[in-house]
Structure 1
Amino acid sequence: MKKITFTLALLLVFIASNAQKDFQGMAVYESKTSTADFKSRMSGNKDMTPEMQKMIEERMKKMFEKTFILNFDKTSSIYKEEEKLEAPGQGQGGFRMMSSMMGGGGTYYKNAKEKTFTVDKEFMGKEFLVKDTLRNYNWKMEGETREIGGYMCYKATAVIPASKTDFRNFRPKKEEDVKKKEEEAKKEGENKSVEAKAEDKKEKKTSFFDEVELPKEITITAWYTMDIPVNQGPEGYWGLPGLILEVNDGKTIILCSKIVINPKEKTEIKASNNGKVVTQKEYDDIVTKKMEEMMEMNQGQGRGGMQMRMGR
């Protein structure tokens, strides 16, 4: 009798183990970043024609509105942008570079059990494989609930440092701050000699970064469901007792629009192995250095030219 009971227990453990091993889910996320401030600045640019403004708005929509697919099991996940056929000439130059820094790019692999992530990125024509430890979000449970797609969700928030290599974190400077700086520069210039003014004009630098600023911290608001008890979510978000269905950082909203549990076609959930292996800090340093070099290269260019190159 004891032998039968022991055998039955082993069988139940085996079944449960295999059920957990075979479990897999798929979630579709729509990502949208607000561009209202940038569009307002762009419409006030007298040097920009309506045709040019329309073209830039179309490019911005492509960069700031994307669809992603998250495939996950009990411990790991892969997050990729939905593949779309691009028209000839699309995604070139500065727009393509900025697009790769707007949450798109390659495959974002997270292993919650090992607390590690791997993501392949292309930057300035070079392939990088960023491998590092997952961020600890220190989530605060807020006690609020709401329904998303038929799933009961719970609210959690976290405050994190703003990444300087993610363009979604940049905010346009307030119009009054820009004008104040220009007035101060004008007043200072009135007291300079003709030679000094000429030298200032020669060395003047203008860039996308002259009119944007990066906050020190951003507040993340997440909504997760206990109905799908996996600590996964879109991009690098994780660490809650249920699948994250929505994330809002005050500028970008990532919202789940579809969920399929145990789809017929299984997806291999594994990390990419393409590119030069670097840590997150090493990759950030590479991007920052390249952006500084670009600012040097654009020395003396007018505002309109730089706006076109950088997607403003």
Structure 2
Amino acid sequence: MKKIIISCLLVTAFCNAQNISNGTITYIVSQKKDHVEQLKEKAKTSESAQRVLDLYEMAEDVTAILHFTAQEAIYKAQESLKNEADKTIVNFTYPMAGGRTIYYNNTIENINASDVSGEYIRVIQEKQEWQLVNETKQIGKYTCFKAIQTNSNRSKVKPIAWYTLDIPLPFGPKGFNGLPGLILEIEEKVYVFKATKIELNSTDFEPIEQPTKGKKITYAEWRERTKNFFTK
């Protein structure tokens, strides 16, 4: 019976894919409330923790956009008007939402394009590996399934994705990809990406432009270049 149910889901997903020509998803990127609460506890006895807390409390939610077709997708965080008007304000959420990096995916490559120390480069990301979990939740009208990224090196807390087979395309926010359905929510250690608006099959959808500016390098080459800026 379980095999029959899975087969039915896959057939339904395939049929759904045939009916989707393009889409745009708006995500809201925000801090986890429990992270701020933990900082508040540390700040009671630590001045450095209080300074970090002050920065997090000044941070604001960030809007980010994912445009996709059946073959490719592109994601970019939107800069807030407040930060554009006052460059002295540091919004901690913005760089974690993706900052000025352009995240591009197609059926062959997953590329992050950005300015690194004055040089614009395109980094080919490594393939993401996922553990599919038998757990679901509802996001809007979509039933979503849980997956955990097992090869993430960002932190000890592995990213959790919630994807839907109703839109069976392997894309998501901030370059997350490779699942059997579109990712509507990502939970990282400190931040959450939540889809708040989904538009499908728009008649005025503009073609996606793949980033071509700058040198293309592998993820290993990028790690070597930036090894003095972070630790594994």
Match of 2:164 in 1: 225
Shift of 1:147: 1.0
- The size of the alignment, in residue pairs, is 210
Give the aligned residue type for 1:129: I
Larger Rg: 1
Take 1:272 and 1:155, find their aligned partners in 2: how far apart are those partners?
A: 30
Match of 2:74 in 1: 78
Contact 1:128 1:277 in 2 (8 A): no
Q: Percent identity?
A: 28
Normalising to structure 1: TM-score of the pair? Answer: 0.57
Match of 1:241 in 2: 180
1:20-169 to structure 2, matched below 5 A, reads 23-34=21-32, 35-36=35-36, 37-46=38-47, 56-59=55-58, 61-62=59-60, 65-85=61-81, 86-90=84-88, 100=95, 103-111=98-106, 113-114=107-108, 116-124=109-117, 126-137=118-129, 139-163=130-154, 169=155
Take 1:244 and 1:90, find their aligned partners in 2: how far apart are those partners?
A: 34
Deviations 1:288-308 (A, max 9, x none): 32569xxxxxxxxxxxxxxxx
Alpha-carbon distance change, 273 to 58 in structure 1, aligned in 2, over 3 angstroms: farther
Normalising to structure 2: TM-score of the pair? Answer: 0.74
Q: Which has the higher contact order (CA 8 A, sep 6+)?
A: 1
Alpha-carbon distance change, 72 to 158 in structure 1, aligned in 2, over 3 angstroms: same
After TM superposition, what 4+ stretches of structure 1 lie above 3 angstroms from structure 2?
A: 19-22, 37-48, 52-55, 95-102
Shift of 1:269: 1.3
Take 1:54 and 1:155, find their aligned partners in 2: how far apart are those partners?
A: 31
Shift of 1:46: 4.8
More moved, 98-107 vs 72-81: 98-107
Contact 1:130 1:280 in 2 (8 A): no
- Indicate the structure with greater strand content: 2
Deviations 1:146-179 (A, max 9, x none): 210111112222322423xxxxx4xxxxxxxxxx
SS in 1 for 2:158: strand
Alpha-carbon distance change, 31 to 159 in structure 1, aligned in 2, over 3 angstroms: same
**Which 5+ residue runs of structure 1 have no aligned equivalent?**
1-18, 164-168, 170-214, 293-312
Q: Is residue 2:225 matched to residue 1:286?
A: yes
- Indicate the structure with greater helix content: 1
Take 1:253 and 1:97, find their aligned partners in 2: how far apart are those partners?
A: 13
Alpha-carbon distance change, 98 to 147 in structure 1, aligned in 2, over 3 angstroms: closer
Alpha-carbon distance change, 275 to 40 in structure 1, aligned in 2, over 3 angstroms: farther
Contact 2:147 2:162 in 1 (8 A): yes
Deviations 1:273-297 (A, max 9, x none): 23343322222333332569xxxxx
